Amino acid sequence: MGDKILLIDDDLQVVRVVSLFLEDRGYEIDSAMLSKEGLEKAKSGDFDLVLLDIGMPDIDGYEVCRQLRADRATADLPIIMFTSAKRGQDRVEAFSSGADDSISKPVSGQELIARVQAMLLRKRRAAAPAKKGKLITLLGCKGGVGTTTAAANIAVGLAQATDDGPAVALAELRSGQGTLAVELALQGRSGLAELLVTEPKNVTAAAVAEQLQDHASGVKVLCAETKPFGAAAALSADHAVRVVERLQGLADYVIADLGVGLEEATREVLKTSYHVVMTLTPDAAAVALAEGLLTEMTDALKLEPDRTTLLLMHREGAGPTVTKASIEERLKRTVAGLIPHQPQLAAEARMGHTPMVAQSPKSIVGQQWQLVAEYVGSL
């Protein structure tokens, strides 16, 4: 069968004529004579295009269009609205509500075919394979295990792996409590906070690019606000996924700091991750928390075990150390690296606003970070 089109119109004669006309040209047609039914079909069916009348008896076409645009499952579905030839304002309202095109009633068969073909062609061009960077997410088993530090070092390590290294974007996907702007001395952009002001569907690649800041390493950084927990705007799942999608179109690698826990936004981003790096300290409490987190990721999010790697971060006062071999055996995941505790080098890195992998590249900890970055790059 050809492209699948949903026709939402309460005029039985129009439904019959338009359906026959399009079916004769190889299109597969489904119809609904009430808006509520049309919305249900649109969200549950795999349609390529919607033809929508403005004058529906239960919910007017403008509101139907707005609801389709507000739902992530149908936000990008092409919509052509049937408007009145006598009311020019209908076309304005149609476009304002989110329609891609409009056609006046009574419908001309030739014009309908031309507009349908043009709309489906634009859809296919938009769906053509585009640049999509690998999404590497960093998730902490608990607070204070260096998730942001790991994200920054892996991003910079990837960027400096070769003379002509990959384009790397580093993003704090945590609304509030952002630290990268301070740690990397980046100022002048609102970052993630600015993107949360608008609706997710309006977060464009250009808008995301405008909020990225250049670090000396060559990494592009999207910073979160430095605000107390609960004081910043909430990061919705729709916003998080849209921002990540836009970043993937701008870089070869997107290194996303998700912080701690499995909030709804984190869950949705994890589902789309190419690979997850979980940070933990090598002590019994952290290992137990990591085990519970990994179980939830496998059972609820359906993330395959081989899509997650462990990164052990030594911290002063973390308690008795559990061996790497014991951790791998218990958690059934590979440990990509073990980062030693080097407070002096960490302090120098903070003062220089540069991650240790670049600040102290010849030190043991700098070399360990580079090995971890190269491991991530090899995935």
Q: Summarize pLDDT for 248-274 with one digit per residue, the tens.
A: 999 999 999 999 989 999 999 999 999
Mean pLDDT of the chain: 90
Task: Determine contact, residues 139/270, Cβ cutoff 8 Å.
Answer: yes
Same domain, 110 and 240: no
For 96, half-sphere exposure in the C-beta direction (CA atoms, 13 angstrom radius) is 8
Among residues 126, 158, 185, the one where a domain terminates is 126
Crossing angle for the helix pair 264-272 and 237-248, nearest 10 degrees? Answer: 30
Q: What range does the domain containing 8 cover?
A: 4-126
- Which residues lie closer than 8 Å to 304 by C-beta, 6 or more apart? 298
Which of 133-142, 279-288, 345-354 is the least confident region? 345-354
Nearest-angstrom CA–CA distance, 307 and 241: 18
Report which of 22, 254, 262 is spatially closest to residue 158, judged by C-alpha positions: 254
- Do 121 and 139 belong to one domain? no
**Which of 274-278, 302-306, 316-320 tops mean pLDDT?**
274-278
- Within this chain, do residues 254 and 169 fall inside the same structural domain, yes or no? yes
Point out which residues pair with 213 in neighbouring strands.
Answer: 221
Residue 129 has pLDDT above 70, yes or no: no
CATH number reported for the structural domain that contains residue 278 in this entry: 3.40.50.300
The answer on 141 and 120 residing in a single domain is no
Inform me whether the pLDDT recorded for 293 exceeds 90.
yes
Q: Which residues of 67-82 are buried (b: 16+ CB within 10 A; e: fewer)?
A: bbbeeeebeebbbbbb
179-185 mean pLDDT:
90
**Tokens linked to 217:** 């390493």
Q: What per-residue confidence (pLDDT) applies to 85?
A: 66
- DSSP string for 85-96: TT-HHHHHHHHH
Judge if 80 and 202 occupy the same domain.
no
The answer for 98, left when phi > 0, alpha when psi is -120 to 50, beta otherwise, is left
pTM, two decimal places? 0.68
C-alpha 34/C-alpha 106 separation (Å) is 20
Instruction: State residue 318's pLDDT score.
Output: 60
Mean pLDDT of 132-161: 92
pLDDT at 53 over 70: yes
Both tokens of 134, joined, read: 């690998």
Tokens of 188: 């002048």
For residues 298 and 207, state if they share a domain: yes
Are 217 and 189 contained in the same domain?
A: yes
For the cut 80, the answer to whether the pLDDT of residue 8 exceeds it is yes
Give the integer Cα–Cα distance in Å for 125 and 128: 5
